[in-house]
Amino acid sequence: SGDSKPEAGANGQASASDASMDTDKPQPSAESSDSKAAASTTPKDASNGANGSAESEAKPAGKSSQELMAASTRQATLAFKKLTTGLSSENSRLLKSFLALITKELANPSNEVREAAKACLAILVDVTKCNVTALLLPFRDRLLGPIFGKPLRALPHNMQIGNIDAITYCLSLDPPFLEINEELLRLLSEALALADAEDQALVNHPAQVRSNTVSLTHLRHVCIRMLTAAMVRPEFSDSKNTPTRARIISVFFKSLYHKSVEVVDAANDGLKQVLLQQQKLPRDLLQTGLRPILLNLSDYKRLTVASLDGLARLLQLLTNYFKVEVGRKLLDHMQQWANPQLLQAASEKSVEDMHEIKILVAILQVFHLLPSTAGVLLDDLVGSVVNLEVHLCRRESSPFRKPLFKFLNRYPTESVVYFIKRIDSPHYMRIFTHALNSPECGPLRDALVTQTPALIDLLREFCAKATSFSSGSKNSESADAEDGSDSMA
């Protein structure tokens, strides 16, 4: 896990990390300060508009999480009491019976039943103007008793998924419905172990892995979602939960390399939420999390589409932790994969399904996500694409252009100046004109407009050269005619 710090130079791992990442930099500020503030906002008033006096019970400064939870519970209890008091005795009885039913179904093993229960609650919130926390609170023990009563591993996979999904839903409620107590921490620890375990450890016999692939993937997915829901709770940021938070972050990193897109998306969202809360990740945790992807970068043969997609996701989250040397390394790998004989043979086939072409496209998809200083790679990157297209005999149908256009949009002014200087090269101009005609290249077109004076100078220079060439041709023809008449004479 992420508790141990890698030794410098051990099998080249630490040196590879140091060359490709910068762990001393602060967390990138790609997200706005408003988003960061939203991630750490305290729970709202329990009445959520149903009780006009809720504003007077806003969060007081200096109160503990237990006191805030107690205040939230009191508000929710009062809101539900006010709701039932305004109903007839029969309608009140029916409402309570219905809530008791759908509360229990929030942990149903069937995903369709759980979603139906949540939809019913959403309708009740709209009709009664009472928030979900207030509606569920009288029946909290009915829901949580069976969930906390048995360890997760003692249950079938579908029941584990139902229980975890119910807790995730409850953790996301605002005002808070669940208190971060020992029972919940035990369940989080169980879910953490499930998310961190290999598939073989989650079944009774290794032969059952294949037949349980769908349920195991879904189980891992809901575990990560619950861990994410817990991580964003302000009271979970307490120092006593630091070791658990570190393990959860480590599992998020590990899950980024999972073969399931569903699991990868959940882990990516979890890391995103963590980075909204924490200004900087611990160095040892960061190095442990990034080591698998950096080791794959050390050898071009180890590159896969999945690993390159994982690198792209990490760059979106941790751009300032990486160095531009990652791009240089990828350019070297492109040269290794761009075998001229292979590309020429592929020119007569459908290139989209070729493994080597997929790798090259996945490499190109990374460049626009590199740190802002990656503009220095413009010449090498465009030159590599030109070389690929020449050997592949592709122009506008080239699979390499869309990824390249993303990079050009990242540095529009530099790109326009670069291509204008190469206006005499047909290969470069084909790429440039194709980019300018592409709907997604608005920044490039805007940058071109700013270069109008340079274009006018180029046009004047071209006209001058054309006039000079025309005059030279006429003089040459006259001289040839005179020589001809002299020879005839």
Which of 66-70, 208-212, 474-478: highest mean pLDDT? 208-212
**What is the model's pLDDT at position 479?**
52
Find how far residue 269's CA is from the centre of its chain.
6
pLDDT average, residue stretch 430-440:
93
How sure is the predictor about 247, in pLDDT bands with cuts at 50, 70 and 90? Answer: very high
pLDDT above 70 for 119: yes
- What's the rounded Cα separation, in Å, for the pair 228 and 188? 10
Q: Is 179 exposed, middle or buried (0-12, 13-18, 19+ CB in 10 A)?
A: middle
Q: Are 443 and 405 in contact (CB under 8 A)?
A: no
Percent of the chain at pLDDT > 70 equals 81
The confidence band for 471, taking pLDDT boundaries of 50, 70 and 90, is low
For the entire predicted model, the pTM comes to: 0.73
Mean pLDDT of the chain: 82
Residue whose C-alpha is closest to residue 158's, from 227, 115, 204, 216: 216
pLDDT, residue 478, reads 56
If you write DSSP's letter for every residue of 144-211 in order, what string do you get?
A: HHHHHHS-GGGS-HHHHHHHHHHHHHHHT-SS--S---HHHHHHHHHHHHHHHS-GGGGSSSGGGTGG
Q: Is 281 exposed, middle or buried (0-12, 13-18, 19+ CB in 10 A)?
A: buried
Residue 145: per-residue pLDDT: 94
134-175 pLDDT, tens per residue? Answer: 999 999 999 999 999 999 999 999 999 999 999 999 999 988
Q: What is the pLDDT of residue 107?
A: 96
Q: pLDDT tier at 16 (50, 70, 90 boundaries)?
A: very low
Span of 80-94, 267-281, 331-345, 360-374 with lowest mean pLDDT: 331-345
Q: For 436, what's the count of Cα atoms within 13 Å in the CB-facing half-sphere?
A: 16
Instruction: Provide, rounded to the nearest whole percent, the portion of the chain with pLDDT above 90.
Output: 46
Structure confidence at residue 43 as a pLDDT band (50, 70, 90): very low
CA distance 292 to 482: 78
Nearest one of 45, 99, 55, 49 to 75, comparing CA atoms: 45
Q: Check: CB of residue 79 under 8 Å from CB of residue 134.
A: yes
Give every CB contact of residue 167 below 8 A, 6+ residues apart in sequence. Answer: 147, 178, 184, 187, 226, 229
CB atoms < 10 A from the CB of 26, how many? Answer: 9
Dist CA 15 CA 5 (whole Å):
13
By mean pLDDT, which of 102-111, 208-217, 272-281 is the weakest?
272-281
**pLDDT band at residue 39 under the 50/70/90 scheme:** very low
Q: What is the 3-state secondary structure (H, E, C) of 340-361?
A: HHHHHHHCCCCHHHCHHHHHHH
Stretch 33-48: mean pLDDT: 37
Tell me how far CA of residue 47 lies from CA of 58, 83, 158, 174, 251, in angstroms: 11, 11, 34, 10, 36
Q: What dihedral angle (degrees, nearest 10) is formed by the CA atoms of 181, 187, 190, 196?
A: -80
Give the mean model confidence (pLDDT) for residues 176-190: 92
Q: What is the mean pLDDT of residues 268-272?
A: 93
End-to-end CA distance of the chain: 98
Low-confidence winner among 85-99, 162-176, 271-285, 471-485 (lowest mean pLDDT)? 471-485
Q: Is the peptide bond before 151 cis (omega within 30 degrees of 0)?
A: no
Kindly compute the dihedral angle of the four CA atoms of residues 197, 199, 200, 204, in this order, to the nearest 10 degrees. Answer: 100
- State the average pLDDT over residues 13-25: 48
Exposure of 51 in the CB half-sphere (CA atoms within 13 A): 23
pLDDT, tens digit (0-9, with 9 covering 90-100), for 294-344: 888 888 888 888 889 888 988 988 888 888 999 999 999 998 888 777 777
